[in-house]
Structures are given as structure tokens and as C-alpha cells.
């Protein structure tokens, strides 16, 4: 058995390495949205290009697990990171909608593999008495890296190939850190399957809520930076807007988690959906001063980031404990499909009705979510909260991660 200091050093290496990946990913997501706008693709094609990352990520969430089991965590991390880096480095040389659609999907697949590898490794190797703190640090590192990645936008030139090189360098740094670790990799175990329809019957609010959450998030992060770029807004202001949104997502996690553990999660979800709708419409109607826009970004990011974890927690409340892995996997799929659909619908809306149409679209989706959650809480009594009730997570919190945690 490894000494405690060695385990903590290995865990620290994993967290720092994956935070570096998230730094690259946060920068890349906003930068790529700006670059697609500059390329002048047709609205429907732009939607496909922007949503391709989510499609690749969703596929990766299910196909990467067997790969990790077959070749091991360290080699899998290197393979997935190398795949993402190679696809990124090819993008400046293969400029075109079809090529970028394929390459961005490959990057999504690779990033899904990186996060699956990291989270399953952390869950298996973190001592039980430190596991909660380890994942708190991991998620803080994730949000902080995503936020810093937004700030890099202000000093980058979207028309230059340099940002692609910087992203490849960040992927490479993460690979060096993790592939040279001396930590012993974990072993994953198989989980019971979940029949189709069972989760929807048991927790319809969680299923539809995850889909709507993914649709809203995919629309927001793909299209809002693109519109701001098209309007000639300074990149520093775009970076600030996205930075504040990510920080809002970080700071909302703990208070919403406490509320979710104390009250019926569906009612909490209804309040979050209604709050998002109000803020989105207010952003359209109110004067676009710095204070108003920054406040709206903070609230939008906060509401948006908590939809998915509340849905996941509610789903686990409604299902047997031995189905936790399958439930998580199914919700990842549903959220991923929503993330793909969001930009596909939002892009033609933006072409016809400008950014106001996009915010009305997201507000309507959030209002539907609030209505479903509210009606669900009125029609069926709240299930008992599970012993491990609420996790700070995003759709990247993968089946392997839950499998390792429950051992």
C-alpha cells in the first residue's frame, strides 16, 4: 500500500494535470466560437460545427470506459490527450466546416476520455476520509481553470494559428504530468445495466431536466461568444462576460447543494429554471451597462451550472443504490444529446432574430424545465434523499467515477 504522502502527491498531480486540460478546454470553447463566426459559415453549418464537440464528448462518455479497462489508466490518459492534441494541431491546416466538424468531435471524444480517466482514478485512490475534500478541490480546480481560460481570450487573436498552438501546449503539459506519475492505477468494475424507460418512469423530471439543461448550456457557451464577436465587442469584454458566468457557476454550487439536500429537489429545480428565465429576459430588456451585463452573466452561469447536478441527485433519490452507475451514464447521454441539439436550434434562431431570439429560446427552455419540475413536485411526493445526496459536478462526472466511488 502506498504511503499517505505518496497518494496525496499522485492525487495532486491528477488534479493539476486535468485542471490544465480544463484551462485549455475553457479557452478553446470560447475561442472556437469566435473563430467560427469569422469563417462566415452558413448558420446551419455553423450550428453543426459548434455542436460537434458535444457529440464527440457524448460518444466518448460511453466508448472510453472499455478502452481504459483494456489498456489501463496511464496509457489511456496519454492516448486520449494525444488524440485531442493531434486534432487541435490539425485545425489551422484543415480550415473548413466538414474538417472542423470531424476534428472538433475528435477533441470532444478525447476530452471525455481524459475526464473519465481522471475521475475514476481519483475515486478509486482517494482515501474514504479524504474523498469529499478531494472532489471539492477537483471541482474548484475545474471551475477555476475554465474561468482563467476565458480570460485568455482577451489577449488572443482568433484569426491567428497561435491559439491552437497554445492549446496543444497545454494538452502536452498535462500529458507529461500525468503520464510520469508513479501512482498505481485503479481497476474498474462492471455495473448492472438499466432497461430503457425505467429511469424515465421513475424520475421523469431528472431525465427531461438533464436534456433541457444540456440544450441550454450548449446554446449559451457556443452561441453567445459568437454573437458578441459578430457585434464587434472587444475580446476583453467577451472574456470578462464568460469569466463572470463561470465564476457564478462555481459560487452557486454549495448554496444550491444545501438547498437541494434540505427541500424537494424538484422545487429547487423549478426555482432555478424560473430564475434563469427571468434573468435571461431581463438581460434583453434592461440597458446593457457593465453592471447589468456582469450581474446577469453571474446569475445565468450560476443557475445554468446547477441544473444538471440537481437532476442527477433527484434521479439517484428515485432509483436503487445499485443502479447509480447506470443512472449516471443515462443522464450523461441525455444531457449530451441536449447539448448537440441546442446550438443546432439556436443558430438559425440567431440568424433570424439576433441574440434576443437566442436568449428568449433559452428562457423558454428554462421555463419549460421549471414547469415540469413544479408540476412533478405537486403530483408525486418527494423521494427520500440518499445518504450521498448532492455532488458538485457537470456531465463529465462519468459512470466510471461513480463506480469507483461506490466500491
In order along its 407 residues, the chain shows pLDDT tens digits of 444 545 566 677 777 888 888 888 888 888 888 888 888 778 778 888 888 888 888 888 777 777 877 887 778 888 888 898 999 999 888 888 889 899 999 998 988 888 877 777 776 666 655 555 666 677 777 788 888 888 887 777 778 888 888 888 988 888 888 777 665 655 555 555 666 677 788 888 888 998 999 899 989 988 888 888 777 788 788 888 888 998 998 888 878 878 887 888 889 999 999 999 999 999 999 888 889 999 999 999 999 988 888 887 888 777 776 666 667 667 777 888 888 898 889 989 988 888 899 999 999 999 999 999 888 655 554 555 554 444 555 544 443 444 434 44
pTM (2 d.p.): 0.78
Per-domain residue ranges of the chain: 4-179, 198-405
Residue tagged 424507460 (cell numbers): 197
Distance CA 191, CA 183 (A): 25
Take residue 147 and report the three cell numbers written for it.
474561468
Query: Are 4-179 and 198-405 equal in CATH topology?
Result: yes
Distance CA 130, CA 127 (A): 5
The answer for 195, left when phi > 0, alpha when psi is -120 to 50, beta otherwise, is beta
Q: Which CATH class is domain 4-179?
A: mainly alpha
Distance CA 252, CA 305 (A): 8
Distance CA 387, CA 296 (A): 35
Take residue 144 and report the three cell numbers written for it.
477555476
Take residue 295 and report the three cell numbers written for it.
450581474
Alpha carbon distances (Å) from 331 to 87, 196, 382? 27, 12, 20
CATH superfamily of 198-405: MFS general substrate transporter like domains (1.20.1250.20)
Amino acid at each position: 500500500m502506498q504511503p499517505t504522502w505518496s497518494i496525496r502527491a499522485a492525487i495532486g498531480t491528477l488534479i493539476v494535470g486535468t485542471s490544465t486540460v480544463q484551462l485549455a478546454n475553457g479557452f478553446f470553447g470560447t475561442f472556437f466560437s469566435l473563430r467560427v463566426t469569422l469563417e462566415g459559415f452558413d448558420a446551419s453549418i455553423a450550428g453543426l460545427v459548434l455542436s460537434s464537440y458535444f457529440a464527440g464528448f457524448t460518444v466518448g462518455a460511453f466508448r472510453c470506459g472499455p478502452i481504459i479497462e483494456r489498456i489501463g489508466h496511464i496509457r489511456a490518459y496519454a492516448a486520449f490527450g494525444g488524440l485531442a492534441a493531434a486534432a487541435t494541431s490539425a485545425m489551422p491546416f484543415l480550415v473548413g466546416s466538414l474538417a472542423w466538424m470531424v476534428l472538433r468531435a475528435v477533441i470532444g471524444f478525447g476530452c471525455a476520455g481524459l475526464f473519465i480517466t481522471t475521475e475514476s482514478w481519483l475515486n478509486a485512490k482517494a482515501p474514504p476520509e479524504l474523498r469529499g475534500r478531494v472532489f471539492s478541490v477537483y471541482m474548484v480546480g475545474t471551475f477555476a481553470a475554465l474561468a482563467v481560460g476565458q480570460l485568455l481570450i482577451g489577449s488572443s487573436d482568433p484569426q491567428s494559428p497561435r491559439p491552437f498552438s497554445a492549446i496543444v501546449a497545454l494538452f502536452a503539459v498535462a500529458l507529461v504530468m500525468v503520464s510520469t506519475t508513479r501512482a498505481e492505477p485503479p481497476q474498474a468494475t462492471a455495473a448492472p445495466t438499466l432497461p430503457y424507460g425505467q429511469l424515465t418512469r421513475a424520475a421523469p423530471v431528472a431525465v427531461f431536466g438533464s436534456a433541457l439543461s444540456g440544450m441550454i448550456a450548449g446554446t449559451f457557451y457556443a452561441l453567445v461568444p459568437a454573437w458578441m464577436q459578430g457585434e464587434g465587442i472587444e475580446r476583453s469584454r467577451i472574456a470578462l462576460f464568460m469569466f463572470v458566468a463561470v465564476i457564478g457557476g462555481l459560487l452557486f454550487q454549495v448554496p444550491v447543494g444545501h438547498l437541494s439536500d434540505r427541500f424537494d429537489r424538484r422545487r429547487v429545480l423549478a426555482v432555478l429554471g424560473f430564475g434563469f428565465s427571468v434573468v435571461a429576459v431581463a438581460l434583453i430588456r434592461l440597458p446593457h451597462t457593465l453592471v447589468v451585463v456582469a450581474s446577469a452573466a453571474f446569475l445565468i452561469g450560476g443557475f445554468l451550472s446547477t441544473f444538471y447536478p440537481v437532476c442527477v441527485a433527484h434521479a439517484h433519490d428515485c432509483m436503487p443504490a445499485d443502479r447509480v452507475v447506470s443512472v449516471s451514464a443515462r443522464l450523461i447521454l441525455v444531457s449530451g444529446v441536449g447539448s448537440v441539439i441546442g446550438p443546432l436550434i439556436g443558430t438559425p434562431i440567431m440568424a433570424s432574430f439576433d441574440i434576443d431570439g437566442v436568449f428568449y429560446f433559452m428562457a423558454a427552455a428554462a421555463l419549460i424545465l421549471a414547469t415540469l419540475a413544479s408540476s412533478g413536485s405537486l403530483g408525486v411526493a418527494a423521494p427520500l434523499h440518499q445518504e450521498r445526496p448532492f455532488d458538485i459536478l457537470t456531465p463529465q462526472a462519468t459512470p466510471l467515477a461513480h463506480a469507483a466511488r461506490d466500491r
